């Protein structure tokens, strides 16, 4: 456990420079704290020899791709925004099973989009934000094996000589946040609330379509704005795969149902619903039922377990 984060940064920067030498490296930035720290460390060590890509998978929150790219640009770190929205939407079309949806997102990212970018880049090294918990969970069989070279379709026995570098593999999440602070990354990054890899697809029960994404994205923006000062561990909007009877303009309508979820937790392994003020819930509800086609808004009181935090 490195108490001296400055020494940790210096050591990792030296190690990356030495290992990569004059070759090229590539990494994918999601805006989460792990990939953000890898991006900043990598650029400190390699400068222009590190190519950083942000893949827009159509599943991000409103303005998120542009915001993440701009945050890094402001720090003098160029990030290439790759528009892969059509590929992800095509892969998700018709899928309703939660695991099938997650698998489609993983496959599209690694086997198609990122795999292609790596091959085109001419990079010999991949920087990846694996942390200690990821390795422990993979070993314990909780997470799927994440051998990134295999995932992007590169045979590790192959003569290409690709190498994956994982500078954060000895750290836990709280330590990564400390490194982020020490690197001078903005609070926007190290204070960021958890957001799942499958992004808004984790908050759409049933098929992910552009129209349903638009609904959950707008609802998410409302919830995030209204609960920004709640101090809760995580909060979100979820779109259910059902319709409820309602009345609008004196006519019966079958509307969509949006769930607000807001939880208290230490490490996401267990969680309880936050006791939000009734007025806050009413205000959010009033805004959410203005969204096109939505006529119900519910608050989820379920703890984890038995529920999970996300819905998919
Ligand atoms: P669950 O829904 O399992 O989530 O209670 C626990 C925490 O993990 C986040 N989460 C994910 N994070 N990739 C991620 O990086 C994922 O696939 C993923 N699924 C869930 C979730 O937001 C919560 O904080």
The Cα 236–Cα 3 span in angstroms is 34
Q: Which atom, in ligand 1's list, is nearest to the CA of 195? A: 22
The Å distance, Cα 198 to ligand 1 centre, comes to 9
The Cα 312–Cα 300 span in angstroms is 15
CA angle 153, 159, 160 (to 5 degrees): 60
Average pLDDT of the residues in 2-8: 87
The Cα 167–Cα 130 span in angstroms is 8
First vs last C-alpha separation in the chain = 34
Q: Whose CA is nearest to atom 21 of ligand 1?
A: 196
Average pLDDT of the residues in 277-284: 98
- Per-residue pLDDT tens digits for 192-240: 999 999 999 999 999 999 999 999 999 999 999 999 999 999 999 999 9
Token look-up 């697809």 returns 201
- Per-residue pLDDT tens digits for 41-80: 999 999 999 999 999 999 999 999 999 999 999 999 999 9
The Cα 76–Cα 109 span in angstroms is 26
CB 135 within 8 A of CB 143: no
- Say if ligand 1 is within 6 A of residue 238 CB: no
The Å distance, Cα 181 to ligand 1 centre, comes to 23
How much is the CA Rg of the chain, to the nearest whole Å?
Answer: 21
Q: Which atom, in ligand 1's list, is nearest to the CA of 197? A: 13
Average pLDDT of the residues in 262-270: 95
**59 or 143, higher pLDDT:** 59
The Å distance, Cα 165 to ligand 1 centre, comes to 24
Alpha helices in the chain (DSSP H): 5-20, 33-46, 64-74, 85-92, 98-107, 115-121, 132-139, 148-151, 173-182, 187-190, 210-226, 278-288
Percentages helix, strand, coil for the chain (3-state, rounded to 5) are 45, 20, 35
Q: Whose CA is nearest to atom 17 of ligand 1?
A: 197
Q: Which atom, in ligand 1's list, is nearest to the CA of 265? A: 24
pLDDT of residue 141: 78
Global pTM value: 0.94
- Per-residue pLDDT tens digits for 67-117: 999 999 999 999 999 999 999 999 999 999 999 999 999 999 999 999 999
Token look-up 């090294």 returns 125
pLDDT of residue 307: 97
Beta bridge partners of 272: 264
Q: Whose CA is nearest to atom 14 of ligand 1?
A: 196
The Å distance, Cα 195 to ligand 1 centre, comes to 7
The Cα 169–Cα 134 span in angstroms is 8
Q: Which atom, in ligand 1's list, is nearest to the CA of 304? A: 5
- Say if ligand 1 is within 6 A of residue 194 CB: yes
The Cα 229–Cα 280 span in angstroms is 11
Beta bridge partners of 223: none
- Say if ligand 1 is within 6 A of residue 308 CB: yes
- Say if ligand 1 is within 6 A of residue 98 CB: no
Over pLDDT 90: what percentage of the chain? 88
- Say if ligand 1 is within 6 A of residue 196 CB: yes
- Say if ligand 1 is within 6 A of residue 35 CB: no
Residues sharing a CB contact under 8 Å with residue 176, sequence separation 6 or more, in sequence order: 33, 34, 37, 131, 168
Q: What is the mean pLDDT of the chain?
A: 95
- Per-residue pLDDT tens digits for 159-177: 567 899 999 999 999 999 9
Q: Whose CA is nearest to atom 7 of ligand 1?
A: 268
The Å distance, Cα 98 to ligand 1 centre, comes to 13
The Å distance, Cα 60 to ligand 1 centre, comes to 15
Ligand 1, pocket-test mutation among 101, 309, 311, 312, most atoms within 8 A of CB:
309
């Amino acid at each position: 456990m490195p108490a001296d984060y400055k020494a940790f940064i210096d050591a990792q920067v030296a190690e990356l420079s030495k290992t990569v030498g004059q070759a090229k490296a590539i990494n994918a930035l999601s805006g989460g704290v792990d990939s953000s720290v890898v991006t900043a460390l990598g650029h400190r060590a390699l400068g222009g020899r590190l190519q950083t890509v942000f893949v827009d998978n159509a599943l991000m929150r409103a303005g998120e791709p542009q915001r993440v790219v701009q945050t890094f640009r402001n720090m003098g770190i160029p990030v290439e925004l790759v528009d892969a929205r059509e590929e992800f939407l095509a892969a998700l079309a018709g899928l309703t099973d939660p695991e099938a949806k997650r698998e489609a997102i993983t496959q599209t990212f690694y086997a198609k989009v990122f795999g292609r970018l790596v091959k085109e880049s001419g990079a010999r090294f991949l920087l990846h934000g694996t942390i200690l918990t990821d390795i422990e969970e993979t070993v314990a069989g909780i997470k799927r094996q994440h051998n990134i070279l295999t995932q992007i379709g590169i045979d590790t026995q192959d003569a290409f000589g690709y190498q994956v570098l994982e500078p954060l593999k000895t750290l836990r999440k709280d330590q990564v946040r400390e490194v982020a602070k020490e690197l001078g990354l903005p609070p926007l990054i190290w204070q960021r609330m958890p957001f799942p890899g499958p992004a808004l697809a984790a908050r759409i029960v049933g098929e992910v379509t552009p129209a349903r994404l638009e609904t959950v994205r707008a609802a998410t923006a409302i919830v995030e704005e209204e609960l920004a000062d709640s101090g809760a561990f995580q909060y979100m909007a979820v779109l259910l795969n059902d319709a409820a009877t309602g009345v609008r303009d004196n006519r019966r309508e079958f509307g969509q149902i949006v769930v607000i979820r807001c939880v208290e937790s230490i490490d996401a392994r267990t969680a309880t619903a936050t006791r939000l003020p009734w007025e806050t819930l009413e205000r959010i509800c009033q805004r959410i039922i203005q969204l096109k086609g939505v006529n119900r808004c519910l608050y989820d009181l379920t703890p984890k377990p038995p529920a999970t935090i996300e819905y998919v």
